[in-house]
Structure 1
Amino acid sequence: MGWAGGWQQARQAVVALWRRARPERALAIEAELEETRAEVVAAQAGDRLIEAAWEWPPTNFEGS
Protein backbone atom coordinates (compact mmCIF):
# COMPACT_ATOMS: atom_id res chain seq x y z
CA MET A 1 0.00 0.00 0.00
CA GLY A 2 1.39 3.35 -0.99
CA TRP A 3 1.34 6.64 0.87
CA ALA A 4 -1.99 7.68 -0.67
CA GLY A 5 -3.64 4.37 0.20
CA GLY A 6 -2.35 4.54 3.75
CA TRP A 7 -3.61 8.10 4.05
CA GLN A 8 -7.11 7.15 2.87
CA GLN A 9 -7.26 4.26 5.32
CA ALA A 10 -6.09 6.42 8.24
CA ARG A 11 -8.49 9.24 7.31
CA GLN A 12 -11.43 6.83 7.13
CA ALA A 13 -10.56 5.38 10.54
CA VAL A 14 -10.28 8.81 12.17
CA VAL A 15 -13.55 10.01 10.63
CA ALA A 16 -15.29 6.80 11.74
CA LEU A 17 -14.15 7.43 15.32
CA TRP A 18 -15.50 10.99 15.18
CA ARG A 19 -18.81 9.75 13.75
CA ARG A 20 -19.21 7.51 16.78
CA ALA A 21 -17.97 9.96 19.40
CA ARG A 22 -19.22 13.33 18.08
CA PRO A 23 -21.20 12.86 14.86
CA GLU A 24 -22.00 16.57 14.62
CA ARG A 25 -18.26 17.31 14.15
CA ALA A 26 -17.39 14.44 11.79
CA LEU A 27 -17.83 16.38 8.52
CA ALA A 28 -15.77 19.31 9.80
CA ILE A 29 -13.02 16.96 10.99
CA GLU A 30 -12.97 15.22 7.61
CA ALA A 31 -12.62 18.59 5.84
CA GLU A 32 -9.83 19.65 8.22
CA LEU A 33 -7.96 16.40 7.59
CA GLU A 34 -8.15 16.94 3.82
CA GLU A 35 -6.98 20.55 4.17
CA THR A 36 -4.06 19.49 6.36
CA ARG A 37 -3.09 16.75 3.90
CA ALA A 38 -3.08 19.29 1.04
CA GLU A 39 -0.81 21.56 3.10
CA VAL A 40 1.59 18.70 3.84
CA VAL A 41 1.72 17.63 0.19
CA ALA A 42 2.40 21.23 -0.90
CA ALA A 43 5.14 21.61 1.73
CA GLN A 44 6.78 18.38 0.60
CA ALA A 45 6.72 19.57 -3.01
CA GLY A 46 8.38 22.83 -1.92
CA ASP A 47 11.02 20.89 -0.01
CA ARG A 48 11.81 18.82 -3.10
CA LEU A 49 12.22 22.00 -5.16
CA ILE A 50 14.61 23.45 -2.59
CA GLU A 51 16.61 20.21 -2.45
CA ALA A 52 16.83 20.12 -6.24
CA ALA A 53 18.00 23.73 -6.34
CA TRP A 54 20.85 22.92 -3.96
CA GLU A 55 21.94 20.03 -6.19
CA TRP A 56 22.26 22.20 -9.31
CA PRO A 57 25.33 24.40 -9.67
CA PRO A 58 24.56 28.03 -10.47
CA THR A 59 24.73 28.71 -14.21
CA ASN A 60 26.10 32.24 -13.94
CA PHE A 61 28.71 31.70 -11.24
CA GLU A 62 31.58 34.19 -11.69
CA GLY A 63 34.34 31.65 -11.08
CA SER A 64 33.37 29.33 -13.95
Structure 2
Amino acid sequence: MTQPFVFMDLRTADPGGSRRFYTELFGWRVADVPAGPATVIQDPNGATIALWESAAPGTTS
Protein backbone atom coordinates (compact mmCIF):
# COMPACT_ATOMS: atom_id res chain seq x y z
CA MET A 1 0.00 0.00 0.00
CA THR A 2 1.35 3.44 -0.88
CA GLN A 3 1.27 6.44 1.42
CA PRO A 4 -1.49 9.00 0.79
CA PHE A 5 -0.53 12.39 -0.62
CA VAL A 6 -0.62 14.97 2.18
CA PHE A 7 0.31 18.62 1.67
CA MET A 8 -0.48 21.63 3.88
CA ASP A 9 0.26 25.36 3.74
CA LEU A 10 1.20 27.19 6.92
CA ARG A 11 1.29 30.99 6.72
CA THR A 12 3.00 32.73 9.62
CA ALA A 13 4.38 36.15 10.53
CA ASP A 14 7.40 34.39 12.08
CA PRO A 15 8.75 31.74 9.67
CA GLY A 16 12.00 31.31 11.61
CA GLY A 17 10.14 30.70 14.87
CA SER A 18 7.74 28.28 13.20
CA ARG A 19 10.65 26.46 11.58
CA ARG A 20 12.38 26.05 14.96
CA PHE A 21 9.14 25.00 16.63
CA TYR A 22 8.41 22.12 14.25
CA THR A 23 12.00 20.91 13.97
CA GLU A 24 12.77 21.05 17.70
CA LEU A 25 9.46 19.78 19.03
CA PHE A 26 8.69 17.10 16.44
CA GLY A 27 12.09 16.47 14.83
CA TRP A 28 10.72 17.23 11.37
CA ARG A 29 13.14 17.85 8.46
CA VAL A 30 13.30 21.30 6.90
CA ALA A 31 14.46 22.31 3.41
CA ASP A 32 14.40 25.71 1.71
CA VAL A 33 12.68 25.71 -1.66
CA PRO A 34 15.04 27.24 -4.23
CA ALA A 35 12.18 28.28 -6.52
CA GLY A 36 10.41 30.50 -4.02
CA PRO A 37 10.23 32.06 -0.58
CA ALA A 38 8.86 28.92 1.04
CA THR A 39 10.33 26.45 3.48
CA VAL A 40 9.27 22.82 3.15
CA ILE A 41 8.85 20.73 6.29
CA GLN A 42 8.36 16.97 6.20
CA ASP A 43 7.22 14.87 9.10
CA PRO A 44 8.52 11.31 9.57
CA ASN A 45 5.36 9.91 7.94
CA GLY A 46 5.96 11.82 4.71
CA ALA A 47 3.41 14.63 5.11
CA THR A 48 4.68 17.86 3.56
CA ILE A 49 4.03 21.35 4.92
CA ALA A 50 4.93 24.51 2.98
CA LEU A 51 5.81 27.31 5.41
CA TRP A 52 5.17 30.79 3.96
CA GLU A 53 5.76 34.21 5.45
CA SER A 54 2.64 36.30 5.80
CA ALA A 55 1.93 39.75 7.17
CA ALA A 56 1.97 40.21 10.92
CA PRO A 57 -1.47 40.23 12.57
CA GLY A 58 -3.08 43.65 12.24
CA THR A 59 -1.04 44.64 9.19
CA THR A 60 -1.55 44.28 5.47
CA SER A 61 0.82 42.87 2.87
Task: Choose between structure 1 and 2: higher helix proportion.
Answer: 1
TM-score by length of 1: 0.28
TM-score by length of 2: 0.28
Q: 1 or 2 for the larger relative contact order (CA 8 Å, sep ≥6)?
A: 2
Structure number with bigger Rg = 1
